[in-house]
Amino acid sequence: MDLKYEISQLLKVAIPELTPEEIMDILEVPAKVEMGDYAFPCFRLAKIYRKAPPLIAQELVGKIPASSLLREITAVGGYINFFMNPVPFVTHVLSSVLREKGQYGSSTLGEGKNIVIDYSAPNIAKPFHIGHLRSTVIGNSLYQIHQFLGYHCVGINHLGDWGTQFGKLIVAYKKWGTKEEVESKGIKELIRIYVKFHEEAEKNPDLDEEAREWFTKMEQGNEEALALWDWFKVISLKEFDRVYDLLDLSFDSYAGESFYNDKMDPIIEELREKGLLERSEGAEIIDLSEENMPPCLITKKDGSTLYATRDITAAIYRKNTYNFNKCIYVTALEQNLHFAQWFAVIKKMGYEWYNELIHIPFGMVSMETGKLSTRKGNVVLLEEILNEAIEKTMEIIEDKNPNLENKEQVAKEVGIGAVIFNDLYNNRIKDVIFSWDKVLNFDGETGPYIQYTHARACSVLKRADVEIKDSQDLSFDLLVDEASIQVCKLLEKFPVVIQEAAEKLEPSLISRHIMDIAQAFNKFYHDCPILTSEEKTKEIRLALVYAVQTVLSTGLHLLGIKAPTQM
């Protein structure tokens, strides 16, 4: 039962001119607790009733039906204030969590619906750097959230394993690389020669033409070109797998750009048959002037394909294969135009499902030292960041709790969790600056703070050494202090926040909400004695501890973060 929803249903009786949805949009949470748990401003009704808002509020209070969830409804100025009845409210919230346990907040909302999520997608033969973290962790969290709501999810790692950059790498390898160096140094050697190519190409533009020729050879099936490409790919995938193992995530499909090589010709032919292709300086384009966008380039003058060609082909393949209700693309904000263009092409092709394609943009990530650039060699490998986070966390553990059991595993879970949470805490569209001091802070609004709070709850339950009773045996009337009620209010909203995160495709809603829960719980922990209190009070407070531990564990899971039981 959602208190906000309940109030909207009550108000609907008194205000038939508004729908419950409109009422819910208008309802506010007052700035001060003494003004109620929710407030309904009546200013919008002044035009309807042709009366002053304070008078409207007074009249409506008398028309609102009673509810066991509310102890008082008052009119103050132009507002109707609703005060929750704590005992039935707390009873409902805690009973729900105790009954549903780890499934609290889940639903069958997505039953029978398929969601395809395209995320991570690092480029083969390029570093898997800190900049790739955002797509990886945002996409993984969206996968977990939708799955928790009953959707059938398909996670696709659309590897960047095709394109002109491989022509550049082949040229670079032939001019400045050796087999021995690449075998021994792996991706770092590939980065070195790739950076060298761009440095030399600035002085000698002919190198770019040479690179294009090698890519064309790849597309035409040249054995030497494809053998080098495949070798570069094997080296890269080893690197990527180590990172995915650290992050403890996997994908349902690794079908990258090269997977669609033999599937593009029929799509290009379909575009031609539908009269959408035009010649322009030897290239084939689709005019998008009616959509106020530049043309979408489908083939270059040498006949080679582009990102858009492969993305259009991939979307049609995915619709035919997975029959998705949504196909979500998690990529950087700077790719907005690219997606807008080829989404428009899908629409022009006559596919009604074009509006099921959704681009989820996010801001850039940078280190405190500045912006990342593969071409200039200014990159920080993600694997190095994750390993450093583990090492730094281990140093903190050695300093504060050297006798901790399984400290290597805890250091891994906390260090990596800190990196992920730092990325998912702010709205995804915002740029992220990576700072060690901020990321690994156990006191600030960080992942370690929430994990520590979860471990604290686990510790209390372990020390109590009692089985949490069924809710019918608990004395809920002993849990009406302000700190306890505040925790329950946040627990009650948890299922709504999960659904909102799915609707807005915004994991930060969950990360911020579980931060609020952790902070409220720590206040409760300090204000309300648990293990030393009278037996009935101890039982109900332990039930609240269990509920918080359960919800924090679920929330962290939905973000792709582990929940250690001790720290």
Q: What is the set of active-site residues?
A: 126, 129, 132
Q: Return the bridge partners of 285, or none.
A: 278, 297
Enter the tokens of residue 183: 């075998």
Strands 365-367 and 296-299: unpaired
Q: DSSP code of 158? A: -
Q: DSSP code of 105? A: T
Cα–Cα distance between 362 and 335 in angstroms, integer?
10
Phi and psi (nearest 5°) for 334? -65, -10
Backbone region of residue 152 per phi and psi (left: phi > 0; alpha: psi in -120 to 50; beta: other values): beta
In the block, which residue shows the tokens 């959509």? 291
How far lies 487's CA from each of 383, 448, 520, 523, 552, in Å?
37, 20, 6, 9, 12
Identify whether the C-beta of residue 125 lies closer than 8 Å to the C-beta of residue 166: yes
Q: H or E element: which one contains 555? A: helix 535-558
Q: What is the SS3 assignment for 481?
A: coil
Cα–Cα distance between 256 and 253 in angstroms, integer?
9
Identify whether the C-beta of residue 117 lies closer than 8 Å to the C-beta of residue 95: no
Identify whether the C-beta of residue 78 lies closer than 8 Å to the C-beta of residue 528: no
Strands 326-332 and 296-299: unpaired
